């Protein structure tokens, strides 16, 4: 089963089942291709906990060592962007990259969770583009300028039950129809349960919070007018546009 959030023609936010772009909520159906129906980010996180260098090939392309524990950083709520939205790139930057990621949506409050129990706290999986301002990321340690700018985390289009997303689910990204990133979930250095255990050792995850599990090799610069598609097998396709700030 897959779930999505919409704003209906009356302006009411609804959550319902999602199938091929159609959302069914409270017995009514809404086609997200209609101009008067807005597809929203499928959750409202208090924080997005991102994982850096969770694919060995991406660590290599960034000339970084594979970490011996998960490399973590945060994106705040202002970073969340809806599916089909347009991301405005920070002005004056030479390189702002796309990063396709499988994202985990937390279903209930989680603190000090053992890896063996971690999936009990997961509502499901979605797609995320960790849009990254390399100009500033490579100059700072906390990555606020590099990672936390407005709309730097498009999420969606829906949340898929974890059981519907294969252990080797493909993770791909296309820019203007051309495949730029192609890998699979089974290439993670740190698994989803291991990530949940590590993160909840230090902070509490609330329902709706997101863990973005890292990106594979193939990251590249975005340009004004680009159309981006992030696809996770079993979830669907997150699409967004790009404009230069």
pLDDT the model gives residue 19: 96
- How many C-alpha atoms does 147 have within 13 Å on its Cβ side? 23
Within 10 angstroms of residue 169's Cβ, the number of other Cβ atoms is: 19
pLDDT the model gives residue 75: 98
**Between vectors from CA 226 to CA 125 and to CA 62, what angle results, nearest 5°?**
65
As a whole number of angstroms, the distance between CA 74 and CA 47 comes to 7
pLDDT grade for 187, boundaries at 50, 70 and 90: very high
Write the CA distances from 6 to 26, 31, 167, 236, integer angstroms.
13, 10, 29, 16
The pTM score is 0.96
Strand 210-212 with 220-221, pairing:
unpaired
**Between vectors from CA 98 to CA 39 and to CA 207, what angle results, nearest 5°?**
50
Measuring CA to CA, which residue among 212, 144, 226 is closest to residue 180? Answer: 226
Domain with CATH 2.30.30.370 in the chain: 1-40
- Mean pLDDT calculated for residue range 69-92: 97
Contact 110, 221 (CB under 8 A): no
pLDDT the model gives residue 195: 98
Instruction: Tell me how far apart the 2 most distant CA atoms of the chain are, in Å.
Output: 52
As a whole number of angstroms, the distance between CA 63 and CA 190 comes to 19
Domain with CATH 3.90.850.10 in the chain: 43-244
Q: Give percent of the chain above pLDDT 90.
A: 95
**With 90 as the cut, is the pLDDT of residue 59 above it?**
no
CATH class of 1-40: mainly beta
pLDDT the model gives residue 62: 86
- Mean pLDDT calculated for residue range 195-210: 98
As a whole number of angstroms, the distance between CA 229 and CA 231 comes to 6
Backbone angles phi, psi at 209, to 5 degrees: -65, 155
pLDDT the model gives residue 141: 86
- Show the tokens assigned to 146: 């590099």
What is the rounded radius of gyration, in angstroms, for the C-alpha atoms of the chain? 17
CATH no. for 43-244:
3.90.850.10
């Amino acid at each position: 089963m897959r779930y999505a959030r919409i704003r209906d023609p009356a302006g009411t936010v609804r959550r319902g089942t999602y199938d091929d772009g159609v959302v069914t909520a409270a017995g009514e159906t809404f086609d997200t291709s209609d101009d008067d129906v807005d597809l929203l980010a499928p959750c409202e996180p208090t924080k997005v906990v991102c994982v850096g260098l969770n694919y060995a090939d991406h660590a290599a392309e960034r000339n970084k060592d594979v970490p011996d524990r998960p490399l973590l950083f945060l994106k705040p709520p202002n970073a969340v962007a809806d599916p089909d939205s347009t991301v405005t790139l920070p002005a004056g930057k030479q390189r702002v990259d796309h990063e396709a990621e499988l994202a985990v949506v937390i279903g209930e409050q989680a603190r000090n969770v053992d890896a063996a129990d971690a999936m009990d706290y997961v509502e499901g999986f979605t797609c995320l583009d960790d849009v990254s301002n390399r100009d500033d990321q490579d100059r700072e340690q906390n990555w606020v300028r590099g990672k936390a700018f407005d709309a730097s985390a498009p999420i969606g289009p829906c949340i898929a039950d974890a059981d519907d997303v294969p252990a080797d689910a493909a993770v791909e990204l296309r820019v203007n129809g051309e495949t730029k990133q192609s890998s699979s979930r089974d290439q993670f250095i740190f698994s989803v349960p291991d990530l949940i255990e590590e993160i909840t050792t230090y902070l509490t995850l609330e329902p709706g919070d997101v863990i973005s599990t890292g990106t594979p090799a193939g990251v590249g610069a975005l340009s004004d007018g680009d159309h981006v598609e992030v696809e996770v097998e079993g979830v669907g396709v997150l699409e967004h546009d790009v404009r230069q700030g």
